[in-house]
């Protein structure tokens, strides 16, 4: 895989509720950031308007809605968001192999129909707000998180997906099973100047990239700082080590 520039690897999570806030925030952050993540709270509040705004600004969009339902429903949902022209979207790996296969097929179907580059389709493994104790005692898994993440990543690749969402702590194991071309999008990234908040399995930017992460998702340390533009620049510097 061709080495990506750090600006192509940083995804800023838009932790706001309105299109107007998105406009203000992206102006403050400036040209250093190419990728933005649109999550449930923002998309459910504003819908496609936020996608349209970001596309007007020539930004790349990760639509983070984490589809998890029966295969037919997820396939339809993937078709709907792919038509919006987003660059990346996701499903839950725990939905199973058939669900992910149907999602991948639907994604390619829309790309062929529209004659455009397919949306990158990735699978959520284990949320970074979950630690080993929660994984075992509340969710009922007996394995280590890292083993389950690697297994789900391999299943996602077998289903035809482009990558996974996973903690950087599991990135090495994913790369071993899935290879260098498989995307590893990592939330739970906390630069040196920020707090952990509700994340459990966290890592610093440079360390996450060294472990094998291909993209870093960072929200509050940038978006809720007094100077989002300067904070984004600091993160990019930390990615360089």
- CA–CA distance, 169 with 167 (Å, rounded to integer): 5
Q: Could you tell me the domains of the chain?
A: 6-240 (3.20.20.70)
- Contact indicator for 90, 161 with CB cutoff of 8 Å: no
CA dihedral 119, 161, 109, 59 (to 10 degrees): 0
Say if residue 66 carries a ligand binding annotation.
yes
Q: Are strands 35-39 and 163-165 parallel, antiparallel or unpaired?
A: unpaired
Say if residue 71 carries a ligand binding annotation.
yes
What is the reported pLDDT for 212?
A: 96
Residue 70 pLDDT > 60, yes or no?
yes
- Contact indicator for 205, 238 with CB cutoff of 8 Å: yes
What is the reported pLDDT for 192?
A: 86
Please, which residues have CB within 8 angstroms of residue 102's CB and are 6 or more apart in sequence?
A: 71, 72, 74, 75
CA 35 to chain CA centroid, nearest Å: 10
Say if residue 72 carries a ligand binding annotation.
yes
Please, which residues have CB within 8 angstroms of residue 241's CB and are 6 or more apart in sequence?
A: 206
**How does the average pLDDT of the chain come out, rounded?**
94
What is the reported pLDDT for 31?
A: 94
Q: Indicate which residue of 69, 83, 101, 177 is catalytic.
A: 69
Q: Is 158 a catalytic residue?
A: no
In this prediction, residues 153-167 reach a mean pLDDT of 97
Residue 106 pLDDT > 70, yes or no?
yes
Say if residue 198 carries a ligand binding annotation.
no
Q: Is 147 a catalytic residue?
A: no
Backbone angles phi, psi at 95, to 5 degrees: -70, -15
- CA–CA distance, 168 with 150 (Å, rounded to integer): 12
Say if residue 15 carries a ligand binding annotation.
yes
Say if residue 92 carries a ligand binding annotation.
no
In this prediction, residues 227-240 reach a mean pLDDT of 95
- CA–CA distance, 55 with 24 (Å, rounded to integer): 15
Q: Indicate which residue of 55, 59, 60, 66 is catalytic.
A: 66
CA-atom Rg of the chain in angstroms: 17
Q: Is 64 a catalytic residue?
A: yes
Residue 13 pLDDT > 60, yes or no?
yes
Say if residue 64 carries a ligand binding annotation.
yes
Global confidence as pTM: 0.93
Q: Indicate which residue of 64, 120, 148, 157 is catalytic.
A: 64
């Amino acid at each position: 895989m061709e080495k990506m520039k750090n600006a192509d690897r940083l995804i800023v999570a838009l932790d706001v509720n309105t299109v107007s806030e998105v406009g203000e925030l992206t102006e403050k952050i400036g040209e250093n950031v190419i990728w933005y993540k649109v999550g449930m709270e923002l998309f459910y509040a504003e819908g496609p308007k936020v996608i349209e705004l970001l596309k007007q600004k020539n930004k790349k969009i990760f639509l983070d809605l984490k589809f998890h339902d029966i295969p037919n429903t997820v396939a339809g949902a993937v078709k709907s968001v792919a038509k919006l022209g987003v660059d990346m979207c996701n499903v839950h790996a725990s939905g199973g192999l058939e669900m992910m296969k149907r999602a991948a097929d639907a994604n390619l179907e829309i790309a062929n129909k529209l004659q455009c580059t397919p949306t990158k389709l990735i699978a959520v493994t284990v949320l970074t707000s979950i630690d080993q104790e929660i994984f075992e005692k509340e969710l009922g898994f007996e394995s280590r998180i890292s083993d389950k993440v690697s297994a789900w990543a391999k299943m996602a690749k077998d289903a035809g997906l482009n990558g996974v969402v996973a903690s950087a702590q599991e990135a090495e194991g994913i790369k071993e099973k899935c290879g260098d071309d498989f995307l590893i999008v990592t939330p739970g990234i906390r630069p040196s100047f920020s707090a952990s908040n509700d994340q459990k399995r966290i890592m610093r930017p440079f360390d996450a990239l060294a472990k094998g992460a291909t993209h870093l998702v960072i929200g509050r340390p940038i978006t809720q700082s007094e100077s989002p533009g300067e904070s984004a620049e600091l993160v990019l510097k930390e990615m360089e080590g």
